[in-house]
Amino acid sequence: MSDQESQQKRKYFRLRYGVKELMPDLYMFGKVFRVSELSEGGIRVLMGESAITAQRTITGYIELHTTGKIYIKGHILRQEKNEMVFVLSEGPTFKQMIEEQRFLRQNHPGLFPKKTSFVEV
């Protein structure tokens, strides 16, 4: 692995929610949105037709399955199709992320495919 590749590694643990029904709710601007991906440093949110201007500061809270309300603060990084990516200056801790992952693994194991090993015959 080159130095450049090692620098490209993600800084934060990311938790992807593959099923819409399990996605946590984000409350901001008096509306409710679904969080499709969560990390200590950012979130990816399903926005639909909502128009939010770039570089706008956001505040609100996310309702997680395990720890309840987590207050967030950040700004818009980019928009991708019907999703908006936010960089967080305040958000979930690593501990809260691990608790959420543990809850999902225990209650919805199908979200996390098991690694298989192939045996040659």
H or E element at residue 118: none
Structural domain includes residue 52: yes
How far does CA 19 lie from the centroid of its chain?
Answer: 13
Structural domain includes residue 61: yes
Is the pLDDT at 19 greater than 90, yes or no? no
Structural domain includes residue 118: no
How many angstroms separate the CA atoms of 38 and 61, rounded?
Answer: 13
Cβ contacts of 49 within 8 Å, gap of 6 or more: none
Is the four-CA dihedral 60, 34, 29, 42 of positive or negative sign? positive
Greater model confidence, 66 or 11: 66
Range of the domain at 34: 11-108
Structural domain includes residue 121: no
Average pLDDT, stretch 22-31? 92
Contact 27, 50 (CB under 8 A): no
Average pLDDT, the chain: 83
How many angstroms separate the CA atoms of 17 and 36, rounded?
Answer: 5
What pLDDT is recorded for position 4? 47
Structural domain includes residue 96: yes
Residue 20 phi, psi (nearest 5): -55, -35
Structural domain includes residue 116: no
* Reported pTM: 0.77
Per-residue model confidence as pLDDT tens digits over 48-99: 766 666 558 899 999 999 988 999 999 998 888 889 999 999 999 999 999 9
Structural domain includes residue 4: no
Greater model confidence, 44 or 121: 44
What pLDDT is recorded for position 111? 72
Contact 101, 15 (CB under 8 A): yes
Domain count across the chain: 1
List, as own/partner pairs, every contact residues 31-36 make where C-beta atoms lie below 8 angstroms and the sequence separation is at least 24, other chains included.
35/62, 36/83
In this prediction, residue 12 has a pLDDT band, given cuts at 50, 70 and 90, of: confident
Query: Where residue 37 sits, what CATH number does that domain have?
Result: 2.40.10.430
Contact 41, 89 (CB under 8 A): no
